[in-house]
């Protein structure tokens, strides 16, 4: 593809993302599947432009408004602004004229600049993406709905943490110990010409350089590796699922943490991956089969209060509630979710999380553990949620990270705090929270299903 054709494809994909109520990565996948004539290098270039624009959304709109653009949300306007402002590190001097030459109206290229676009481009020329007059929230790409909660949670770390969330996420793999060792995986990746190194915190983690086609590797096809952020790996490891135990992943989704826990159980015992979305569980079942995990099954629930929960009251050693959340910790991977949340808002999520915790707690046997996790940085979804649960469930007690880490992963915990709290700025992982709660003694009280 020519440079112009790549930019036109990026404009079309950005417009499709804006018009489609699905996550940007899912829209991009469908976009490229429908255009198989676009080669791998061109796909990478187009996707790179699109996701860079999404990561700069607030700053680009600020500049376009400042330059008098009639519609700062327009996909074409944002690509023009990015091409002028966002490429400054690669080329010094004036950019507007060079960008205008690419918009030449040739075959597959964008149409020439309109008079308004020419004026906006000339106004933006010689500027960079950053400007001292930008409001702090614009500079760090923080949407208004999340600002109060993030300032409360992060305090003086608000700016560095939000700045870290504007960059791309690394590509992490989790080694399936039933199929391979980490050393064998690193050797196999090197043989395939892929640079990688062990993750810093997860003993099963491998961090890969660049964006190679992992799904095409035999290591992936054989189930020896799965794509999973290092933070997500740590949540699954600290759940401490053991061989022979009875384990539930209450909100399993596509099964990333369920796979990790089932592998830790060494195919002994029983793991039940639950979710209300049957299609996601089908994907989880496929991944479990590829990984050679025979101790796991999937179960579709009608709601958090599905009768299955009451029937299995007090039956499980480990119950993981990886709750639906705002996803503020995953903005590096899902930059569009800052500006267009596609699911429930906080006002719906917080009571849903409380209901999930309350219902899932019934499954935990005395001496068993309830693990609550989110990929959020907000206190409302994390510490506040756990404190409210503990206040209403005196039979559960918290287990501090300093106690759990040495018992599960060996050595003192390298992290501060009572709970597992990970962030891109401090740990170069997605933002994750996890609390481990143990049920102490006695019988499990009966709880009637609601709704």
| Catalytic residue, candidates 142, 199, 325, 375 | 375
Question: Cα–Cα distance between 250 and 258 in angstroms, integer?
Answer: 10
**Could you give the 3-state DSSP secondary structure of residue 374?**
strand
Question: Cα–Cα distance between 84 and 88 in angstroms, integer?
Answer: 7
Nearest to 162 by CA among 335, 16, 295, 305: 335
Six token digits for residue 442 = 């006695």
CA distances from 9 to 20, 265, 312, 369 (A): 16, 46, 52, 49
Three-point CA angle 350, 351, 354, nearest 5°: 90
Helix axes 40-55, 24-33, angle to 10 degrees: 150
Q: 115 exposed, middle or buried (CB, 10 Å; 0-12, 13-18, 19+)?
A: exposed
Sequence-ordered list of residues with C-beta below 8 angstroms from that of 395, at least 6 positions apart, any chain: 439, 440, 441, 442
Active site residue 199: no
C-beta of residue 396 within 8 angstroms of C-beta of residue 438? yes
Three-point CA angle 420, 423, 427, nearest 5°: 90
The H or E element that residue 433 is part of is strand 432-439
DSSP code at position 322: E
Query: Could you list the active site residues?
Result: 375
């Amino acid at each position: 593809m020519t440079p112009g054709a790549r930019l036109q494809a990026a404009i079309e994909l950005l417009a499709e993302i804006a018009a489609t109520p699905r996550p940007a990565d899912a829209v991009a996948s469908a976009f490229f599947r429908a255009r198989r004539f676009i080669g791998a290098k061109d796909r990478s270039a187009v996707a790179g432009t699109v996701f860079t624009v999404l990561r700069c959304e607030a700053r680009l709109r600020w500049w376009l408004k400042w330059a008098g653009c009639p519609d700062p949300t327009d996909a074409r306007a944002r690509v023009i602004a990015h091409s002028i402002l966002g490429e400054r590190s690669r080329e010094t001097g004036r950019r507007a004229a060079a960008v205008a030459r690419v918009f030449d109206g040739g075959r597959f290229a964008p149409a020439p600049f309109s008079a308004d676009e020419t004026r906006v481009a000339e106004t933006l020329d010689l500027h960079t993406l950053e400007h001292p007059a930008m409001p702090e929230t614009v500079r760090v790409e923080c949407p208004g709905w999340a600002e109060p909660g993030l300032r409360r949670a992060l305090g003086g770390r608000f700016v560095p943490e939000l700045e870290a969330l504007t960059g791309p996420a690394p590509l992490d793999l989790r080694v399936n110990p039933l199929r391979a060792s980490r050393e064998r995986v690193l050797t196999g990746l090197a043989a395939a010409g892929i640079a990688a190194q062990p993750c810093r915190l997860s003993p099963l983690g491998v961090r890969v350089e660049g964006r190679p086609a992992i799904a095409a590797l035999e290591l992936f096809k054989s189930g020896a590796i799965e794509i999973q952020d290092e933070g997500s790996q740590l949540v699954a490891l600290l759940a401490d699922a053991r061989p022979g135990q009875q384990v539930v992943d209450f909100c399993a989704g596509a099964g990333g943490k369920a796979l990790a826990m089932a592998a830790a159980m060494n195919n002994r015992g029983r793991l039940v991956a639950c979710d209300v979305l049957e299609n996601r569980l089908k994907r989880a079942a496929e991944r479990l089969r590829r990984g050679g995990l025979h101790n796991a099954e999937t179960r579709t629930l009608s709601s958090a209060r599905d009768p299955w929960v009451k029937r299995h009251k007090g039956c499980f050693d480990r119950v993981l509630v990886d709750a639906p959340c705002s996803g503020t910790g995953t903005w590096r991977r899902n930059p569009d979710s800052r500006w267009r949340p596609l699911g429930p808002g906080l006002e719906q999520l917080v009571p849903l999380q409380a209901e999930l915790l309350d219902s899932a707690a019934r499954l935990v046997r005395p001496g068993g553990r309830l693990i609550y996790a989110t990929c959020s940085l907000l206190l409302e979804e994390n510490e506040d949620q756990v404190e409210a649960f503990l206040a209403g469930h005196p039979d559960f007690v918290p287990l501090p990270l300093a106690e759990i880490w040495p018992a599960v992963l060996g050595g003192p915990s390298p992290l501060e705090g009572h709970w597992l709290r990970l962030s891109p700025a401090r740990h170069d992982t997605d933002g994750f929270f996890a609390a481990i709660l143990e049920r102490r003694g006695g019988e499990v009280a009966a709880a009637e299903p609601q709704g």
